[in-house]
Structure 1
Amino acid sequence: MESTIVDGAWRGHLGRGLAPRELQFVLSVAQGLTAKEIAKAFEIAPGTVVKRLACAMYKLGVHRQGAMVAEAMRRQIITPLCLLLIAVMTMQGLDNSGIARRDRRPSERRSSELRLARRSEILELIV
């Protein structure tokens, strides 16, 4: 069974290419923490955090921290916990046939555009 690390609103999956400490730091970066803030939270030197993040970026083949988080998400190394909420909301929006319900009425602008189009078609038929 695959191990996971949960940090705030993010879940990290071990065994997908990053060392446990690298994964912890990537999760912290995903939450918006700086290297100094991560170092303070883990009670280590900021240089250690920078080096671990550099190793993670190298393994993921990127050069920026934002790209590191995006690539880790793309490879499903990290996932936001809110995806579970989105899945539940999507499932509740489906009816029994699996087709999404539409509870909204069309916008007023769209309705007026349709009326104008129909009027122009009627005028073309008359002329």
Structure 2
Amino acid sequence: MSTIVDGAWKGHLGQGLAPRELQFVLSVAQGLTAKEIAKLFNIAPGTVVKRLACAMFKLGVHRQGAMVAEAMRRQIITPLCLLLVAVMTMQGIADNGMARRDRRPSERRNSELRLVRRTDSFDLVV
């Protein structure tokens, strides 16, 4: 099995992605945009967008972050450093909506609602 090394990432050929698609997925994993990838490979940005769309279709995802996470899950791409693995794992969890955001509601808003409810409940009958 042959591999492509691009920066801090290694991609494995023969696992469902074309060589050019794999190169672009590795570039996305490094945080490059389609325009930056196009400039790097000296091609049109539309070509990059189309190749990335094909890669996302093959991996069954709709977002680039999910594409990188799915390629990692299928072991098509692997990071060369462990810190990057931890960051991508956390991003993958956040993309799936499994990460929980604890956010307390504003105390001011709740107290205003209580005051309004109390004043509405007292009606004077003469």
Residue of structure 2 equivalent to 1:26: 25
1:82 deviates by 1.2
Deviations 1:42-81 (A, max 9, x none): 0000000000000000000000000000000000000001
1:5 maps onto 2:4 in alignment = yes
Alignment length (residue pairs): 83
**How high is the sequence identity, in percent, across the aligned residues?**
92
Q: Write the mapping of 1:33-112 to structure 2, written as runs, cut at 5 A.
A: 33-83=32-82
TM-score, normalised relative to structure 1? 0.64
2-structure distance, mates of 1:49, 1:6: 19
User: Please, what is the CA RMSD of the aligned residues?
Assistant: 1.1
Question: Which aligned runs of 4 or more in structure 1 are off by greater than 4 angstroms?
Answer: none
Gaps of at least 5 residues in structure 2 are 86-126
1-structure distance, mates of 2:41, 2:26: 13
Give 3-state SS (helix, strand or coil) of 2:32's partner.
Answer: coil
TM-score, normalised relative to structure 2? 0.65
Gaps of at least 5 residues in structure 1 are 87-127
Give 3-state SS (helix, strand or coil) of 1:6's partner.
Answer: strand
